[in-house]
Structure 1
């Protein structure tokens, strides 16, 4: 029986970089968490400890900071592509780069240089590159986008067995924290415009879909994004059901006409799914 080295990669995780851009007296802030993961001719470092092919993770970290200074941080995906292409193009032993990015929002307060941190929502991107002229993929997205419909949601007609206690309902609160990723057909999108439009499509579909299940809502959201944004070919979503249960107020002599709820944080239903166009190109590495 032979024992061999399988797929592998290495890199620097969670490089926190904040870039302040000064336009005269007015400042802009981009606050990122960047992960770099590289693969290529790395057999010897695993098998014999020979580090000749290794670009150190400390160098990867420094590159993130240097690129933030040299190029600034404009569109999230473009910054990721710059980094990924650099690592492959500059190092003969590196054949593939994966750059993962998260962006944390800061909202301007009164004045040119005062900010308050935004909500829990985080913008995300994952970039893969085999170097300039090679195969590339870009997946944009977001996580922790918390949304709620106070009505317009039902849930009934489900399987019932001896352990079922959940009552069917024709009117409930539907709430979730959306994690969504959408794959681009190419690497030449107007990233900020595309992100804002895809996000709006998801929100519009959530708000306007009369929901019979969270699964139905998930599909409607993914479908809307693909219908409105031709540069996208696939949407993947993970949506926990943030349950709101009606409180029994009868012991206090009170009715509860869908007005008072207990918000339960766990356990929760977790709904996940993929919506894609029938001509979506294969991109097995895009999600990994």
Structure 2
């Protein structure tokens, strides 16, 4: 049996950086968590302990802070691209850089006062190779959506263990995790028109919410496809979207012990277990994603 080194990478995970931009009396706040992973010619460090090709993870952390100070943090995709390009040029042993950023939202409450917003998080992952190729995947987590009606579930497969009753009217709720791949960054030759990542993110989020609200759902799977299709049909810069939709079940409470009817009005919101619906909607003309989703 031959034992060989397989794919590997290393980096600094979960570097928390907060950047305050002080434009006179009104300040702007960016609160991010950054993860860096580098890969390339790292054979010797694994096999012999030779660290000469290793850029310390502490250096990677310091670079995040230094770039936040030098360049500021605008759109997280642009910040991630700056870092990824820097790391692939940091030494001949680094062939590929992966930079992931989560942005934690704060709502303005005054010129220099903020309140932490909902649990929704904006995300991105950027991959950059030494040959200059870049892939950008934007996303969000924790977008909570709910329809009080307009959702059914019936005609499903049954076996000896099926107890679920079919329904023609139910509450449909989910907390969306979405990742979408850009055809090309907006400043790349051949990019599908001018846009910025902030405007694109807001538009994709709006498409997801509108499609969820406007789809008469016969299943959460059908709703997922409608949400993904709305994004691809509306936004030319997006070529693929992956969605993960937990079914946040709402069950009618039995009020008969209290001599009361429950005409689809009182529910218990179940925590777990929950159904988990996942799927990808693709522009079939789009190029293969490579490592973008890793």
Q: TM-score, normalised by structure 1?
A: 0.98
SS at match of 2:116: strand
From 280, 283, 289, the equivalent of 1:274 is 280
> Where does structure 2 lack aligned partners over 5 or more consecutive residues?
187-194
Per the alignment, residue 198 of structure 1 pairs with: 204
Give the superposed CA RMSD.
0.8
From 226, 234, 259, the equivalent of 2:232 is 226
- Separation of aligned partners in 2, 1:212 and 1:283: 31
- Separation of aligned partners in 2, 1:224 and 1:43: 45
State whether structure 2 residue 141 is matched by structure 1 residue 150.
Answer: no
Per the alignment, residue 60 of structure 1 pairs with: 60
* Range moving further from structure 2, 87-96 or 221-230: 87-96
The Cα of 1:211 is off from its aligned counterpart by 0.4
- Separation of aligned partners in 2, 1:153 and 1:253: 28
Q: TM-score, normalised by structure 2?
A: 0.96
The Cα of 1:134 is off from its aligned counterpart by 2.1
SS at match of 1:3: coil
- The alignment of Structure 1 onto Structure 2 pairs a total of residues equal to 286
The Cα of 1:240 is off from its aligned counterpart by 0.5
CA distances 1:257-287 after superposition (whole Å, capped 9, x unpaired)? 1000011100000000000011010122010
The Cα of 1:160 is off from its aligned counterpart by 1.5
From 190, 209, 215, the equivalent of 2:215 is 209
Per the alignment, residue 158 of structure 2 pairs with: 160
The Cα of 1:86 is off from its aligned counterpart by 0.3
CA distances 1:152-176 after superposition (whole Å, capped 9, x unpaired)? 1000000112211111111000000
Report matched runs for 1:31-180 at 5 Å: 31-109=31-109, 111-131=110-130, 133-180=131-178
CA distances 1:1-47 after superposition (whole Å, capped 9, x unpaired)? 21110000000000000000011111000000000000011000000
Per the alignment, residue 14 of structure 1 pairs with: 14
SS at match of 1:187: coil
Per the alignment, residue 246 of structure 1 pairs with: 252
Runs of at least 4 residues off by over 4 Å = none
SS at match of 1:12: coil
CA distances 1:208-251 after superposition (whole Å, capped 9, x unpaired)? 00000000000000000000000000000111000000011112
